[in-house]
Amino acid sequence: MRTKSPSAADRFFAVTWISFLAFMLSAFIPVLVVPGLPYSEGEHTLFLRVMAYVTPCLLATTVVAGIAGVFTYLAKGQ
C-alpha cells in the first residue's frame, strides 16, 4: 500500500507543533540555572516556589498540546 507524501501545509503544521513544544520545554531552563544566580535568599526562595507551580503547568500544557497536535496531524492525513 502506497501512502501519499505530506503536503506543504501538513509539513508546516508539524513544524509549528515541534517549534511550540521546543519553546515550551525551553521554559524549564531557568529551573536548572537558578541555583547559580546571585539572588538574595528571600528572592531565590520565592522564585523557586513560583517555578514549582509554573513548571508542572508548562509540562502539562506541553504534553496535552503535543498529543493534540499528533492526533490532529494524523486526522488530517485520513
Asked, for residue 50, whether it belongs to a domain, the answer is: yes
Asked, for residue 63, whether it belongs to a domain, the answer is: yes
Global confidence as pTM: 0.42
How remote is the C-alpha of 44 from its chain's centroid?
24
Asked, for residue 46, whether it belongs to a domain, the answer is: yes
Asked, for residue 48, whether it belongs to a domain, the answer is: yes
Q: Which domain holds residue 39?
A: 32-78
Where is pLDDT greater, at 30 or 7? 7
DSSP element (H, E) containing 59:
helix 41-77
Asked, for residue 20, whether it belongs to a domain, the answer is: no
Place of cell 513560583: 50
Asked, for residue 47, whether it belongs to a domain, the answer is: yes
Q: What is the pLDDT of residues 23-78, one digit of tens each?
A: 777 766 666 666 665 655 655 677 777 777 777 777 777 777 777 777 777 777 65
Place of cell 513548571: 55
- Domains identified in the chain, total number: 1
